[in-house]
Amino acid sequence: MDSAVSDEPRDVAEDAACVGQDNAPLQFDTNGMEGIEEKKLAGSKEELPSWMKSKLPGVKKVTNKERRRRQNQHLRRLLTPKNAVMVINEMIPKEQIANNFKVEPNPNKHFKQTTPTYCADLTIDGTVYQGYGENKLLARSAAAEQAVRDIIIKKIKKCAESSTEPAEEEPLPMIQLASFALHKLFSEWEGEGYKVPLLRPAAASVSDSESTQSGPVGGATAGAVEHKPSKPAKIKTLPSNASTMHPCMLLAYMKPAQEYRELAVDGDKPQNMMFTIGLVVDGKTYVGKAPNKREARKAAARVACETLFGVEFADRHSENTPRH
């Protein structure tokens, strides 16, 4: 027992003496970690373990072109043209908008109206926005556009005044703003006579494009629509009384199944409103403008008939009615 007790301090003392004589720090074996670090610092060309490699095998750097393509694809899913009513419903709860929207007929006492007009009142935060239109949808759109304008401007002012936006404050609705801007831009282009195709839903854009590219090689996919070649339409002869016919009736006879599209509505009151109607015939857009939709459609059909068939209408400046 005595020898065992005396041996223990002697071993510790010998170790301490060895350290003191060499004046070197103690070195510990950490399962080869120190040797690996020395090889790495010395620039050794030996292969490092897989867990120390900076890049995984087979991973390539994303190019700027691919990054932009992914960004555009992501934005395409988020941004679609939306009118003012759709945007205001996304910015404010639909229940609140539905309760604050009031649409009533707007009789005018000063002059006789050829078509009925409506007035829409939208109340948001105590502010009343009024919009007028020939139908309830147009009146709602006019009132909603004014509300969207004021809400966006208020939020932009708040963002400009405070550099850091508070966490409890709702952020600027950039997606809704961009969607409404696209709608206004496309409407302006169509008002100038350019045909803007309607964008497909964002969820089906990628699959639709792939199925379109595959065509007959890849086969028909689920939900794909097959476009059968249409039969050539019979060429109709121009009626002898074409110059005395109503432009819309003449166009419907010569080119049936044409669709009129409302491109723009200018003005905030019935007496100074101006409607822009577009008509697409054989891939070309014809535009007509008038104080009401009926005259705007008539003007668009008149331009189309004069351009396509060379018809010179007898009563161009008077109200034209169908004659038989």
CATH architecture of 242-309: 2-Layer Sandwich (3.30)
For residue range 45-69, list pLDDT tens digits in order.
567 676 666 655 666 777 888 889 8
Q: What angle in degrees, to the nearest 10, is found between the helix axes of 136-161 and 174-191? A: 130
For residue range 167-222, list pLDDT tens digits in order.
555 678 888 899 999 988 888 888 777 777 766 544 433 333 333 343 433 333 33
Q: What is the pLDDT of residue 146?
A: 92
- Round the average pLDDT of the chain to a whole number and report it: 72
Topology annotation, domain 84-164+171-191:
Double Stranded RNA Binding Domain (3.30.160)
Q: Three-state secondary structure along 163-214?
A: CCCCCCCCCCCHHHHHHHHHHHHHHHHHHCCCCCCCCCCHHHHHHHHHHHHH
Q: What is the pLDDT of residue 188?
A: 83
Q: What angle in degrees, to the nearest 10, is found between the helix axes of 247-254 and 293-309? A: 50
84-164+171-191 matches 242-309 in fold: yes
Amino acid at 285: T
For residue range 12-45, list pLDDT tens digits in order.
445 544 444 455 554 545 555 555 555 555 555 5
From CA 67, how far away is CA 319, in angstroms rounded?
58
**Residue with the two structure tokens 């282009």:** 189
Amino acid at 203: A
Percent of the chain with pLDDT over 70: 60
Pairing mode of beta strands 274-281, 260-266: antiparallel
Pairing mode of beta strands 127-133, 260-266: unpaired
Q: Which residue has the higher pLDDT, 98 or 205?
A: 98
Per domain, the residue ranges of the chain are 84-164+171-191, 242-309
From CA 174, how far away is CA 182, in angstroms rounded?
12
The DSSP line for 124-145 is ETTEEEEEEESSHHHHHHHHHH
pTM, to two decimals: 0.47
Pairing mode of beta strands 127-133, 274-281: unpaired
Q: What are 154's two structure tokens? A: 């208020």
Q: What is the pLDDT of residue 316?
A: 63
Element (H, E) at 44: none
Rounded alpha-carbon distances, angstroms, from residue 223 to 49, 66, 204, 243: 50, 29, 10, 47
